Structure 1
Amino acid sequence: MKKLILLSLAVVLSTSCATLQKKDSKKTPPTDSSASKSKDKDAIKDYDKVITKEAITDEGLFKVHKIKDKYYYEIPNNKLEKDMLWVSRIAQIPTGLGGGYFNAGTKTNEQVVHWKRFQDKILLKVKSYASVADSTKAISNSVYVNNYEPTLYAFDIEAFSKDSTATVIDVTKFFSEDVKAISGLSSRLRSSYKVRNLDNSRSFINSMKSFPENIEVKQDMTYNASEPPSNSDTESISLQMNQSMILLPAEPMQPRLYDPRVGFFTVSQVDYGSEKLKADEKTYIRRWRLEPKDPEAYARGELVEPVKPIVYYLDPGTPENLQKYIKQGIEDWQKPFETAGFKNAIIAKDAPTKEEDPDFSPEDIRYSVVRYVASTTRNAVGPSVSDPRSGEIIESDIIWYHNHLRSYRNRYLLETGAANPSARTLDTPEEEIGEMMRQVIAHEVGHALGFPHNMAASFAYDVEDYRDGDFTQKNGIAASLMDYARYNYIAQPGDENIRFVRQMGPYDHYATNWGYRYIPGATTESEQTTLNKWILEKADDPRYRFGRQSSRFDPQSQTEGIGNDMLKASDYGLKNLKYVAKNLASWTSDQTNDYNDLEELYGELLGVYSRYVGHVTTNIGGVYETIKTPQQGGVVYTPVDKSTQQNSMQWLQSNVFDTPDWLIDTKILQNIDHAGYFEEVRNRQARVINDLLSFDTLGRLIDAETSSTNYYSAFEMLRDLRTGIWSETSGTKNVDIYRRNLQRTYLDRMAYLMTNDGPQNRFSRSGFEGTINYNVTTSDVRPLVRGELETLKRSLNSARNRSVNTVTKYHYADAIARIDDLLDGED
């Protein structure tokens, strides 16, 4: 009976469940694939219902449709999952946004994207080539799943083309929203200006144009901001952005492996498919794709035009009187390209007029432009965008800021005025200013061709060569235009036929040939033998040496320095600068009847003085870096010899720590400021003291004991510095205001060394290495500093009992008290 009841109950429950499931099926959407397809079909409209007869269509990479205030992309299916470079730039900018280095043309982001279908959506994915592997190898799957691509945006599919070969999406919202990855306002700027949000009512798509390989979109964006950089009453920031998207080549350019002995900007990848027993980091140089039109003639050694030359257009806003100099600066690179076998490889053109090309825009990624920026910033830059797969440079914009010529006029007057009569004026002759601009443009174009600064190029020539007219006219003032060697400040009054302005040098021809010469039939790997051979042929000639921008420790690779002996070069430089200082008023305020230019140039004169001093300072604790391979023999790093370092210390005592009275010209100072003269001098002295008494310099001096027998020890340097700065303590001489300030600055820095733990991380910016990381508390630093302070205290106790004035006695007593406080605090 129980079994019968249970069986009956089971039948009832089974029937009930079946009934419930049947009722629920009316409320739950189907989950099988056919049901999903049916739903997609309902959601995705017919083409004619989306792209109506009102559509204004632009053919190109994608079809771009405009219907009233809506924009649609019609993406060909064969363009899905194709790599495209997306570059975001500011097209128009409000006054003051971002400080001096933001302008119309500034790039705010560069990223590789591709469009990908997922169910009923099109995803815009950001792709990285930082990690790669051959797609035929199993590990490529691991690379893929461990480097998942972020989705920048997801678009609903609106329709398919009538022949089903393309997909239609609505991009209106994407380009009207505040999408951070393509915005002109970084997180830092948003924080600085207290940006609240994008105001959609004042933001709109300005234009959208499609070309065969790229799409260009202009957006007008207005943000609500509590503290905008200008027009503060509006509490708004309005700017126009240009979004460029260009299809990358289906076949990437053959990359060329980087060699640190020749300077190039680079792109890097970690190749997990390498046969080496580790992930293999491969670094490629960045360069334009230059291939000969006639490979046979090129192989015979004839000059051949490239298939696609590098073309730079001049900004339509470039002043008429400067245009020829900009064009010359661009085309100066034709000669180095001829060394690499190409003629007419780089060409300067005027921007087309509206009648000639109504679609021309400086922001269009198809065009490289020299942008002339109406800004008070004093600089010029040469950025570029490149294909991360191969290093191929796709496009670049040279940025020239209007006031930059003023910097060059000032430096021309200050650095060459003693030996160069035509520089002794505020109205520099136009041809000379034009020549300066030409060389600056050529320098920035060099960056855009892939070349970084080569700071060793100015160390290639002997100091005395700079006083030889024939030599300077032929060789300029550095072996490369890519050095920061702007003027010949060594030439002396009476030297004749001197070239004062930089120019292209032999290294520029050498590096262009190394990076751009086409090697027929070679692969990235097999061409290494040829490239290495070219380097070895020039390895012992300093004119072809590359020096990183590592002036933190290498005396031969210093910014703004010229000549192979910094002591002698700075001697000549200071001799000239003293002549200029005496005549500064007569060349400026006496001519203009106001003190504005005098004040500006005096401030810059102090900067020039500091640079000359800094070049000598780097000798102390300096290490020469000569980049080489084991095959070449010798070592890469060599400490500066003891004699040079000792002479450098003596030079600093004479030219910096002994008060440089020639800088304190009351005829200048009392006409440009009411007070603070002593502090101007102390600031310059403090920079040198801080450099010498840095953990970095002391660390290198200590380390030299481990690698050299002819070294200047940290103990010797500290002793020589103390005895020079505190020389008054050995006699009865009173200490004047300048020396008192200097000596207290010394004590402040010694206190820093006793209390600070030193750098915690190695400075890792490529090309700027210098900071060393070591355990300060277990090193010799603190014992050496303590010993110097105790020795100084004994000298001070003796000195204050001698016949000196009251202020000097007070000064000595204060110094003793400071030392006591410091050493007592350490006990």
Structure 2
Amino acid sequence: MKKNLLFYFILFLSITTTVEAQRKKSKDKKTDQTSKVSPKSKTPKYSDFVNKDTKTDDGLFKIHINKEKFIYEIPKSYLGKEMLLVTRLKDIPAGLGGGYVNAGSKINTQVVVWEHYKDKVLLKIKSYDAVANDSLPIYKSVKSNNLEPIIYSFDIKAQNTDSTTVLVDVTKFFSSDVKAISGLPSRFRKTYKIKRLDDSRSFISSIRSFPKNIEVVQNFTFDADEPPSNASTNTITMRINQSMILLPEKPMMPRIYDKRVGYFSIGNVDYSSEALKADEKRYIKKWRLEPKDTEAYNRGELVEPIKPIVYYLDPATPEKLRKYIKQGVDDWAKVFETAGFKNAIMAKLPPTKEEDPDFSMEDVRYSSIRYVASTTRNATGPSVSDPRSGEILESDIIWYHNHLRSYRNRYLLETGAANPSARTLDTPAEDIGQMMRMVISHEVGHALGLPHNMAASYAYPVDSLRSGSFTQKNGIAATIMDYARYNYVAQPGDKNIRFIRQLGPYDHYAINWGYRTIPNATKSEDEVKTLDKWIEDKADNPVYRFGGQRFDPSAQTEGIGNDQVKASTYGVKNLKIVAKNLPNWTSNQTNNYEDLDELYGELLSVWGRYVGHVTGNIGGVYEFNKKPSQSGDVYVPVTKAKQKEAMAWLQKNVFKTQTWLLDKNILNKIEETGYTDKLGRYQERTLGTLLNYRTLNRMIDAEVIQKEFYAASDMVKDLRKGIFSETNSTKNVDLQRRNLQKVFIARMENLINDETTKNNDISSIVRGELEVLKYQVNIASKRAINTISKYHYKDCYAKINDILNPKK
């Protein structure tokens, strides 16, 4: 027993000693670890980010670059300041947007503010869609119901030595796929099945700071299942440009928009109104032109603006073209004199490095005309404007290298019959220069705030366009902002004709209306009475009318003259001469068929436009924008006589087989097949316009407001009788007509099955005409005609029967 007690006592001492030793060891270990812990990390200093190895670019913000890190040094005085963030496509893959999206296109424009919050800087979007006077109680509600989204949160890395600036790292922001500033809108992501941004192939190309803006270029590569080009790569690579522009401290006093004069515009909902609903307000986009000498300006003297509009030419512009581009800008100087300003706009060559080493086309203080080496046939006139006021801040007009080829081709096709200088692939240099000058003038007009005005070409009588004295003085349309590019009306033998467009009286009128300073006006509403008077003084003169493309046949793109039927008759007459001579002017000179092929395709397009001008009269409605203080109707249907005349023209010049467009001397040189399909597509397009719900509905509505109207039922009957005229004789039906007749039946089927036509006259008209046609083709199939015509009629009968008696 004693031995057992002694054993347990020794065991207890052993365990106690071991535990104590472990405790001491643990304590010693903790002590040792504590002694090795470094002091608390110090707060990052300015010098950690900006030092001798840092590259710094000074401007709106200082940009510090350390290896691959980009740091913004934001002055605290700029926190809360409103800036404009503009996302553009700098370089794009071929075929993006179906070929209708160009490098330089704006994707998004939004107002942003940098805001300090605790230890962060927030980048927030500020909207001007809803506004209210900040002195009114409702302002609080507007703010509460329009909370500004935060698009990114940045940690403050450090401050400068006097704590007047904060440093934020923007590397991740600009190298990530941030949707708010993405160059790929959702529609592109869906179309091209974008999966993700590939970080390994994406990077910030550059960040540059200027006095009023910062420019960021992103090189982004996306994985995409269906890219627009280079499909085997499953890749879309693009360069995106982010421009951040400081907005003016004091917004320009805006000018209230009026749809009777053409201007691009901005809009918002103003809750400051005392009316029973919020006011929807719109303001025009315009440059801030203010006279240097207000008193002299008010006396009616020409005065220079405090800050003129200056465009700098791209150094890449070919020297032989520079003078024409410069003229295209400078031509507007005379227009601005109408608004009381002299030397208001001009073009200059950019300064050399020696003259100004800091000059850059990307600096928002400088507007430019870029010459882009691209196969795109286009030119654009975009601008950046302040959404608070509509003030245009800068503009970069883009000219694409191949655009002049389109103008050469159109010049040959539309004027070659009457204009000897156009009958060549080597268009005279002066003619090419004048075309370029007018294109630049057109794009400058856009950059000044003017949209297209397709009604301006309707101002001049058609036969006046055959007069040398008239066209030399007035041009071929009342504005450069129409798409009236060439005089296709003038006939062989007409003398001293101007064939190329020019600025016109509407341009002077619109610039005066938008830019003239109105004395004693301290707010936008003060100007309205004067602006209304300027419009109403000119209201009865078609030269000063503004109209947009829709349902109005007097506002159609590419048209000229106030009678589309007469103008298109002249145009087709000229095209027949051109078509006959096309091989002589192309392939016989070059000893290849490439130009003949290209120009024949474009000749069909020109013919199609002439056809479209006439087609627009059927079911057309003229739109005359007015205020209630003006007399007359706003909407006036085209007369029955004019619509009937248009239908007769279409039967003769479109639906009857146009053998002059199927010239074997051309077709058997350029293609092995497809001739009838090409021509058929234009005939089908015309039928699609006529047998369209909207066209027919306007004709049905005209019955209510028009005493003499062209009934929809009569139009469809006339169409059917003309297209199926062979059913009344023993004539064979040629190939083009057989195809056309099938298209007519298919279009009628579309209408009768369209849900929008079920409960109105359209379904009744279609059913009635198909019943008549079914009887006609059945009788015609039994007459003594060739085999294919018999088969064709039987096929038509079967198709109609299936439409009228669908199988369940």
TM-score of the superposed pair, with normalisation by structure 2:
0.91
For 2:356, the aligned partner's letter is D
Secondary structure of 2:353's counterpart equals: coil
Contact 1:104–1:373 (8 Å) recurs in 2:
no
For 1:151, the aligned partner's letter is I
Match of 1:519 in 2: 518
Separation of aligned partners in 1, 2:526 and 2:41: 57
Q: Specify which of 738, 745, 748 is matched with residue 747 of structure 1.
A: 745
Contact 2:210–2:363 (8 Å) recurs in 1:
no
Residues 714 and 411 (structure 1), Cα distance of their counterparts in 2 relative to 1, 3 Å cut: same
Separation of aligned partners in 2, 1:240 and 1:657: 48
Separation of aligned partners in 2, 1:220 and 1:743: 53
Match of 1:624 in 2: 622
Separation of aligned partners in 2, 1:439 and 1:59: 40
Cα offset, 1:188, TM superposition: 4.3
Query: 1:305-325, CA deviations, whole angstroms, 9 ceiling, x for partnerless residues?
Result: 111111111122211211111
Contact 2:284–2:449 (8 Å) recurs in 1:
yes
Residues 77 and 572 (structure 1), Cα distance of their counterparts in 2 relative to 1, 3 Å cut: same
Query: 1:263-291, CA deviations, whole angstroms, 9 ceiling, x for partnerless residues?
Result: 00000010011122101100000001100
Structure 1 residues 670-679 or 613-622, which shifts more?
A: 670-679
Match of 1:405 in 2: 404
Cα offset, 1:140, TM superposition: 1.1
Match of 1:492 in 2: 491
Secondary structure of 1:282's counterpart equals: strand
Secondary structure of 1:245's counterpart equals: strand
Q: Specify which of 668, 685, 688 is matched with residue 687 of structure 1.
A: 685
Match of 1:815 in 2: 796
Secondary structure of 1:743's counterpart equals: helix
Cα offset, 1:490, TM superposition: 0.4
Query: 1:703-745, CA deviations, whole angstroms, 9 ceiling, x for partnerless residues?
Result: 1101111100011111111111111112222212121111111
Residues 826 and 757 (structure 1), Cα distance of their counterparts in 2 relative to 1, 3 Å cut: farther
Contact 1:89–1:363 (8 Å) recurs in 2:
no
Cα offset, 1:46, TM superposition: 4.0
Match of 2:776 in 1: 795
Match of 1:210 in 2: 209
Match of 1:264 in 2: 263
Match of 2:414 in 1: 415
Q: Specify which of 581, 584, 605 is matched with residue 582 of structure 2.
A: 584
Match of 1:771 in 2: none
Cα offset, 1:366, TM superposition: 2.5
Separation of aligned partners in 1, 2:651 and 2:692: 18
Contact 1:44–1:158 (8 Å) recurs in 2:
no
Secondary structure of 2:805's counterpart equals: helix
For 1:657, the aligned partner's letter is F
Match of 2:175 in 1: 176
Match of 2:431 in 1: 432
Q: Counterparts in 2 of 1:267-666, with a 5 A limit? A: 267-522=266-521, 523-550=523-550, 553-666=551-664
For 1:610, the aligned partner's letter is G
Secondary structure of 1:825's counterpart equals: coil
Separation of aligned partners in 1, 2:259 and 2:735: 49
Residues 453 and 729 (structure 1), Cα distance of their counterparts in 2 relative to 1, 3 Å cut: same
Match of 1:731 in 2: 729
Contact 1:244–1:364 (8 Å) recurs in 2:
no
Structure 1 residues 792-801 or 557-566, which shifts more?
A: 792-801
Cα offset, 1:52, TM superposition: 4.0
For 2:541, the aligned partner's letter is D
For 1:494, the aligned partner's letter is G
Separation of aligned partners in 2, 1:747 and 1:802: 21
Residues 346 and 785 (structure 1), Cα distance of their counterparts in 2 relative to 1, 3 Å cut: same
For 1:798, the aligned partner's letter is I
Residues 205 and 782 (structure 1), Cα distance of their counterparts in 2 relative to 1, 3 Å cut: closer
Contact 2:64–2:71 (8 Å) recurs in 1:
yes
Separation of aligned partners in 2, 1:196 and 1:798: 60
Q: Specify which of 709, 712, 722 is matched with residue 711 of structure 1.
A: 709
Structure 1 residues 250-259 or 51-60, which shifts more?
A: 51-60
Note the residue ranges of structure 1 that are not aligned, 5 or more in a row. Answer: 1-40, 759-775
Secondary structure of 2:534's counterpart equals: helix
Q: Counterparts in 2 of 1:190-229, with a 5 A limit? A: 190=189, 195-224=194-223
Residues 398 and 731 (structure 1), Cα distance of their counterparts in 2 relative to 1, 3 Å cut: same
Q: Counterparts in 2 of 1:40-79, with a 5 A limit? A: 45-52=44-51, 54-79=53-78
Separation of aligned partners in 1, 2:63 and 2:666: 64
Separation of aligned partners in 1, 2:94 and 2:778: 59
Residues 675 and 219 (structure 1), Cα distance of their counterparts in 2 relative to 1, 3 Å cut: closer
CA radius of gyration, larger in: 2
For 2:546, the aligned partner's letter is F
Contact 2:683–2:740 (8 Å) recurs in 1:
yes
Residues 211 and 742 (structure 1), Cα distance of their counterparts in 2 relative to 1, 3 Å cut: closer
Separation of aligned partners in 2, 1:777 and 1:101: 36
Separation of aligned partners in 2, 1:114 and 1:492: 60
Residues 735 and 93 (structure 1), Cα distance of their counterparts in 2 relative to 1, 3 Å cut: closer
Contact 2:752–2:758 (8 Å) recurs in 1:
no
Separation of aligned partners in 2, 1:93 and 1:676: 33
Secondary structure of 1:615's counterpart equals: helix
Residues 803 and 208 (structure 1), Cα distance of their counterparts in 2 relative to 1, 3 Å cut: closer
Secondary structure of 2:283's counterpart equals: strand
Match of 2:25 in 1: none
Cα offset, 1:777, TM superposition: 1.3
TM-score of the superposed pair, with normalisation by structure 1:
0.89
Cα offset, 1:549, TM superposition: 2.4
Residues 795 and 238 (structure 1), Cα distance of their counterparts in 2 relative to 1, 3 Å cut: closer
Secondary structure of 1:208's counterpart equals: strand
Secondary structure of 1:278's counterpart equals: coil
Match of 2:31 in 1: none
Cα offset, 1:653, TM superposition: 0.9
Separation of aligned partners in 2, 1:730 and 1:115: 77
Residues 534 and 687 (structure 1), Cα distance of their counterparts in 2 relative to 1, 3 Å cut: same
For 1:211, the aligned partner's letter is F
For 2:125, the aligned partner's letter is V
Match of 1:697 in 2: 695
Match of 2:108 in 1: 109
For 1:811, the aligned partner's letter is H
Contact 2:212–2:364 (8 Å) recurs in 1:
no
The size of the alignment, in residue pairs, is 768
For 1:450, the aligned partner's letter is G
1:825 aligns with 2:806: yes
Secondary structure of 2:629's counterpart equals: helix
For 2:460, the aligned partner's letter is Y
Separation of aligned partners in 1, 2:680 and 2:348: 51
Contact 2:122–2:154 (8 Å) recurs in 1:
yes
Secondary structure of 1:75's counterpart equals: strand
Cα offset, 1:129, TM superposition: 0.5
Cα offset, 1:599, TM superposition: 0.7
Residues 179 and 677 (structure 1), Cα distance of their counterparts in 2 relative to 1, 3 Å cut: same
Match of 2:671 in 1: 673
For 2:526, the aligned partner's letter is S
Query: 1:290-313, CA deviations, whole angstroms, 9 ceiling, x for partnerless residues?
Result: 001111111111111111111111
For 1:777, the aligned partner's letter is K
Separation of aligned partners in 1, 2:435 and 2:589: 24
Secondary structure of 1:268's counterpart equals: strand
Contact 1:93–1:104 (8 Å) recurs in 2:
yes
Separation of aligned partners in 2, 1:95 and 1:612: 31
Separation of aligned partners in 1, 2:356 and 2:228: 35
Cα offset, 1:61, TM superposition: 2.1
RMSD: 2.1
Contact 1:254–1:390 (8 Å) recurs in 2:
yes
Cα offset, 1:403, TM superposition: 1.1
Cα offset, 1:428, TM superposition: 0.3
Q: Counterparts in 2 of 1:100-139, with a 5 A limit? A: 100-139=99-138
Query: 1:12-45, CA deviations, whole angstroms, 9 ceiling, x for partnerless residues?
Result: xxxxxxxxxxxxxxxxxxxxxxxxxxxxx99964
Contact 1:453–1:549 (8 Å) recurs in 2:
no
Residues 43 and 690 (structure 1), Cα distance of their counterparts in 2 relative to 1, 3 Å cut: farther
Separation of aligned partners in 1, 2:696 and 2:723: 18
Structure 1 residues 651-660 or 680-689, which shifts more?
A: 680-689
Secondary structure of 2:525's counterpart equals: coil
